[in-house]
Amino acid sequence: MRIAAVLADRCQPKKCNKECERFCPLNRTGAQCIVFGEKGKPVISETLCQGCGICTNKCQFKAVKIIGLADELKEDIIHRYGENAFRLYRLPVPKKGFVTGILGPNGIGKSTAIRMLSGTEIPNLGDYTVPPSKEKVLEHFAGTELHDYLKNVYDGKIKTCIKPQYVDKLPQSVKGVVRDLLSKVQERMSLEEAAEMFELTDILDRELDKLSGGELQRLAMAATVMKEADVYYFDEPTSYLDIYQRVKMARIIKDLSADKQVMVIEHDLAILDFLADNVHLVYGSEGAYGVFTLARQVRTAINAYLDGYLPEENIRFRERPIEFEASPPREEWQTPDIISFCDLEKNFGGFSLKISGGSVRAGESVGIVGPNATGKTTFVKMLAGVIDADSGSIDGKVKVSYKPQYISADFDGTVQDLLYSKNYDTISSGFFSGEVIEPLGIKYLLDKKVSKLSGGELQRVAITMCLSNDADIYLFDEPSAYLDSNQRMIASKTIRRMMEKSGRSAMIVDHDVYFIDMVSDSLMVFGGSPGHSGAGNGPYDMREGMNRFLSAVDITFRRDADTHRPRINKPDSRLDREQKSSGEYYYS
């Protein structure tokens, strides 16, 4: 077993009196696995470190990770950013005529791999002091499929195109209106064809900094697909999109793979299952190391990911498997109503919303689904008291805890400062620590500055803050945004478990079908004309709600025989036709 050591930026030796060095057992024998450099920051010798873990326990800032790496990875290192820094093992290779998927946690090297495959970044093969040339890299991979691919990329024989991960940063790098951007990339199709395909016609003359997240995503997808290339890389192509748009993007990507090489990073397991042919899993430790596995057929790969065990490598990368219910939930809820609403209406001039009568019962978790721009967030804000309805009534005096869709990082302090300043007694309790802090990984974020958190880290902190409030009903607006697949499953189970154990209620707006399936007892379904009018109905029991919802999307789901996870049926397949004819789109 080899040792990998990682030191995060949170290391502050002046404040801790260098305890990680003082308590290292090797120091007593004359050897020293921890050495402090010129700037006072420690460096851990990975050849001397025994992996005892004492320094990780003594570090009050949680800045040290000591990780055991399998010996067979010794020859497979692709890139290393420095001593005690992130390292990447193995690389996937795209294949013509197939959609190759990549599935793994955030911060584990997926986007790094895409940059290297596209030729944007040259792998250093672990030598960060004297990085090898392209010729040395090709010599290292001689005789492999990766050698042939990289040689064509380096020689300019293969043209690559990347759909970037962070589409919300587009307005910072590109100025002007949508039409100007798309007019520069009219290669495979015209601007008009792309605008119709990606539903951009109404926003062609709008400034990029005025676009929503979903509109920016569709714009980035259009700009990518319009370009002529041999290999297309899509880094999280469905974030910010509703289920209707996600299915449409998946179909566009599948059509593109007919004569192109396509690789996709995706966290929505239902969509990845629908669009990918083969999937490379990536396991490791966030910010420490990442290992690409060999490609598996998509069903096998996702099932292995949910199980948390790779039988071929004999590696378990998650303590417990993620499980789904095999049968539909109960249709009757035997608890009293805590809040009810009737004939709510809201008019913003260009957009109007109508909500029919409904109620939420004590202990019930209600999922809210439907297209973007049909009023889901507006409805939640009315329940939270952020905005008032023009007409209708909301009955029930209840305490509300609200996590908004867009989260602000405007706090000058650490995560611990933020949480303790809001609800110290709850946050510091053993029950909350075991049910929320531990599962969501908040303990590793406590000493980080709020302003320095990534999107996924900020989302987990926002969920924690919402759950820490003393309330009768908890409102979550898109809690799965920015989270990777594993974090989504954990967050959904955390919210549901807290509602069950506390007897409180929740309403959750989200677009991930797996997330909704795991967190919800019932469903509210929204429809209408996006951006113009919206209508909300329900809550319905899960069977009726899913049937209403999915019939509008025109897709059906079956259950996997091994994991019971929902899987999208192929359009017009035998199962698809049978379930549509019987009206059972989800629970068959």
Residues 359 and 494 in one domain: yes
CATH number of domain containing 341: 3.40.50.300
pLDDT for position 60: 74
Does 144 reside within a domain?
no
Residues 584 and 535 in one domain: no
Asked if 183 and 203 touch (Cβ cutoff 8 Å), the reply is: no
Asked if 160 and 228 touch (Cβ cutoff 8 Å), the reply is: no
Task: Write the DSSP assignment of 246-298 as a string of letters.
Answer: HHHHHHHHHHHTTTSEEEEE---HHHHHHH-SEEEEEEEETTTEEEEPPPEEH
Range of the domain at 500: 337-540
Residues 487 and 390 in one domain: yes
pTM for this entry:
0.83
Asked if 245 and 214 touch (Cβ cutoff 8 Å), the reply is: yes
Residues 475 and 587 in one domain: no
Final residue of a structural domain among 69, 87, 119: 69
pLDDT for position 135: 95
Residues 495 and 391 in one domain: yes
Distance CA 307, CA 60 (A): 33
pLDDT digits (tens, 9 = 90+) for 375-428: 999 999 999 989 999 999 998 788 999 999 888 778 888 999 999 998 899 999
Does 216 reside within a domain?
yes
* Total number of domains constituting the chain: 4
CATH number of domain containing 29: 3.30.70.20
Does 303 reside within a domain?
no
Residues 354 and 430 in one domain: yes
Residues 482 and 577 in one domain: no
pLDDT for position 12: 76
Asked if 163 and 231 touch (Cβ cutoff 8 Å), the reply is: no
Does 559 reside within a domain?
yes
Residues 39 and 183 in one domain: no
> Which residues, in sequence order, are CB contacts of 137 under 8 Å at separation 6+?
122, 123, 125, 150
Does 409 reside within a domain?
yes
Does 478 reside within a domain?
yes
pLDDT for position 169: 81
Residues 41 and 172 in one domain: no
Does 500 reside within a domain?
yes
- pLDDT(331) > 60: no
Residues 354 and 462 in one domain: yes
Distance CA 509, CA 505 (A): 14
pLDDT for position 444: 84
The stretch 424-451 carries a mean pLDDT of 92
Tokens of 47: 């050849």
The stretch 338-361 carries a mean pLDDT of 92
pLDDT for position 30: 58
Final residue of a structural domain among 26, 42, 69: 69
> Which residues, in sequence order, are CB contacts of 408 under 8 Å at separation 6+?
none
pLDDT greater at residue 538 or residue 33: 538
List beta partners, residue 529. Answer: 533
pLDDT digits (tens, 9 = 90+) for 68-97: 655 546 678 999 988 878 899 999 999 989
Residues 576 and 520 in one domain: no
pLDDT for position 408: 79
- pLDDT(26) > 60: yes
Final residue of a structural domain among 184, 213, 228: 228
> How big is the chain by its Cα radius of gyration, in Å?
25
Residues 585 and 535 in one domain: no
Does 202 reside within a domain?
yes
